[in-house]
Structure 1
Amino acid sequence: MPVASMTVQLRMEHSHSLKDRRQVVRSLKEKLRHGFNISVAEMDEAVTWQSATIGIAAVSGSRDYLSGLMREVEDAAQRIAADLGAEVSDAWWELVD
């Protein structure tokens, strides 16, 4: 059964505290989780207030479905991050059988 995993690196230039950072990360995770029925988790420690790494995973019986889903999730992550005053500095995904 194919599994898709994505890593999204966020940059939050306007974040001035851990609370600001946490609000952006939590909101992005919730919106992606509810919008796409995927697993989403923060992957790194809160080392700086201006960056975060988010991990995303999905399972399906169809590689084609997962490929389309990951493209949609990446687009949505960029859009949601921009709405929250952040930006996706990098994103990559892979399919594993």
Structure 2
Amino acid sequence: MIIGAGQVDLSIGGIFSLKEKRQIIKSIINRIQSRFNVSIAEVDAQDKWQYSVLGFCCISNDTAHANSMLSKIINFIENDGRVVIVDYSTEII
């Protein structure tokens, strides 16, 4: 069993409330869950307006597949025009 885990630090510009932030983050989380079938959640900075940290995880029987999934998720977030990736990390266990 191979576990792929990732963390993405996001900057969210042009918002003025936690409500707006939560709408954007919830939308991104739901789209990633439905498209990639992974576990994902906001894991830090819940009370900051323009910053968010998402953690996600997938399980596979192949290291290459897990790596590919993590890369696709990061690319998906990067292509979303509402957020900017500040930093990210991935790990294969």
TM range, normalised to the smaller chain? over 0.9
User: Structure 1 segments of 4 or more deviating over 3 A?
Assistant: none
Shift of 1:87: 1.0
1:58 paired residue number: 58
For 1:64 and 1:36, the matched residues in 2 are separated by 15
Structure 2 unmatched runs, 5+: none
Please tell me the root mean square deviation across aligned C-alpha atoms, in Å: 1.0
Q: CA deviation at 1:10?
A: 0.8
Q: Which residue of 1 aligns with 2:11?
A: 11
Map 1:1-97 to 2 at 5 A. Answer: 1-80=1-80, 82=81, 85-96=82-93
Measure how far apart 1:91 and its partner are: 1.3
TM-score, normalization by structure 2: 0.94
Please report how far the alpha carbon of residue 47 of structure 1 lies from its aligned counterpart in structure 2 after TM superposition.
2.6
Fraction of identical pairs, as percent: 23
Deviations 1:18-75 (A, max 9, x none): 1111011101100111110000011014231000100000001111110111111110
Rounded to whole Å, the distance in 2 between the matches of 1:11 and 1:45 is 11
- The structural deviation recorded for 1:4 is 0.4
Flag structure 1 segments of 5+ consecutive residues without an equivalent: none
Aligned length: 93
SS in 2 for 1:68: helix
